[in-house]
């Protein structure tokens, strides 16, 4: 890449990008009115960003500056840990869901749903971080199973920590239609756990990369009996099923890259990310993500009620 061209591009962008943005600092937002260079310095410090050489850092600053223009377009956007990635790079690393519908049981609503918040009930485990591995499907699967077990009286909220890495390493083709860090599907994770049970992270630590499937026969393991899916697009059934426990859902997370807070609706319905629906309150859907607690609202995002981001189009949940 031509260094002179990079520097010229960055100079032009920096002159036009000074704006009022929300700088997301761990678990809270700080309103700042500073130039892009100052924001970039804060960004590097906050998220411990380091680059291979000055030329590459200059390129990343250019990307950061371009993304500031996107941040200005939506009140729920701000500076996140993904600000130095282009939208294409972000999608390649984090939006890797492989959609597949093949259920043995379908849940349909038996009436109008009521509001419920499983985080307030203490039945949602802490937010985790998938890192640069495309394992959102595994975190969505495990989050749903952890909550189902807590609701069934198995384990404690702050100590139950099941092994996403086991799904990444072991729930693979030909038997299970998933590809570890290259993407997968929550239903395939449920199938694996039904067949093999699931270990704890203490015995099978998360590495954020593909590995060889370990022998888990000596580990304590947890089980589910089956899973059910929600009819595609049936938001009433989704909200009704939520009364039983959190639900694995697929969403269009293309614009989640810059989300910091608020009720989000800036999306289409191109399902590319697996997350966990944990609450339906105040005309919004609360979603647990797997990008760490420094993203969004302490690791969560609120979607506008209804089929926002396609949240009602591919949903499933485990049954203990």
Among this protein's residues, is 182 annotated catalytic? no
CA distance linking residue 212 with residue 208, whole number of Å? 13
Whether 98 is catalytic: no
Q: Which residues have C-beta within 8 Å of that of residue 95, sequence separation ≥ 6?
A: 134, 253, 254, 272, 273
Which SS3 state, helix, strand or coil, does residue 284 take?
A: strand
**Choosing from 133, 136, 181, 267, which is the catalytic residue?**
136
Which residue of the set 196, 273, 312, 313 is catalytic? Answer: 273
* Catalytic residue selected from 25, 272, 289, 313: 289
Q: 3-state DSSP helix/strand/coil percent for the chain, to nearest 5?
A: 30, 20, 50
213 burial (CB, 10 Å; 0-12 / 13-18 / 19+) is middle
Give long-range contacts, CB 8 A cutoff, 24+ apart: 49-52: 49/84
Catalytic annotation present for 309: no
Residues whose CB is less than 8 angstroms from the CB of residue 229 and which lie 6 or more positions away in sequence, other chains included: 101, 103, 105, 106, 107, 187, 314, 315, 316
* 97, 138 contact by CB (below 8 A): no
Question: What is d(CA 40, CA 317) in angstroms, rounded to the nearest whole number?
Answer: 41
Q: Which two tokens stand for residue 45?
A: 């410090």
Point out the residues that are catalytic.
136, 273, 289
């Amino acid at each position: 890449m031509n260094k002179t061209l990079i520097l010229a591009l960055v100079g032009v962008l920096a002159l036009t990008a000074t704006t009022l943005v929300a700088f997301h600092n761990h678990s809270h937002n700080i309103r700042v009115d500073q130039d892009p260079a100052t924001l970039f310095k804060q960004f590097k410090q906050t998220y411990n960003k380091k680059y291979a050489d000055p030329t590459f850092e200059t390129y990343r600053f250019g990307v950061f500056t371009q993304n500031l223009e996107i941040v200005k377009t939506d009140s729920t956007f701000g500076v996140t840990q993904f600000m130095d990635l282009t939208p294409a790079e972000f999608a390649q690393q984090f939006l890797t869901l492989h959609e597949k519908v093949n259920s043995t049981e379908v849940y349909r609503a038996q009436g109008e749903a009521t509001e419920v918040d499983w985080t307030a009930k203490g039945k949602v485990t802490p937010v985790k971080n998938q890192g640069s591995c495309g394992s959102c499907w595994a975190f969505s699967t495990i989050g749903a199973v952890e909550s189902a077990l807590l609701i069934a009286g198995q384990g404690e909220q702050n100590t139950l920590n099941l092994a996403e890495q086991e799904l990444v390493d072991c729930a693979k083709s030909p038997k299970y239609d998933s590809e570890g860090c290259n993407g997968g599907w929550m239903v395939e994770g449920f199938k694996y756990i039904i067949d093999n049970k699931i270990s704890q992270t203490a015995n099978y630590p998360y590495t954020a990369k593909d590995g060889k499937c370990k022998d888990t026969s000596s580990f304590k393991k947890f089980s589910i009996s089956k899973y059910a899916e929600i009819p595609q697009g049936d938001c009433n059934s989704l909200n009704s099923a939520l009364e039983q426990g959190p639900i694995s859902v697929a969403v269009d997370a293309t614009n989640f890259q810059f989300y910091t807070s608020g009720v989000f609706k800036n999306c289409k319905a191109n399902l590319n990310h697996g997350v966990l629906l944990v609450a339906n309150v105040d005309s919004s859907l609360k979603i647990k993500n797997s990008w760490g607690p420094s993203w969004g609202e302490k690791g969560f995002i609120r979607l506008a009620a209804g089929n926002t981001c396609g949240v009602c189009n591919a949903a499933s949940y485990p049954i203990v």
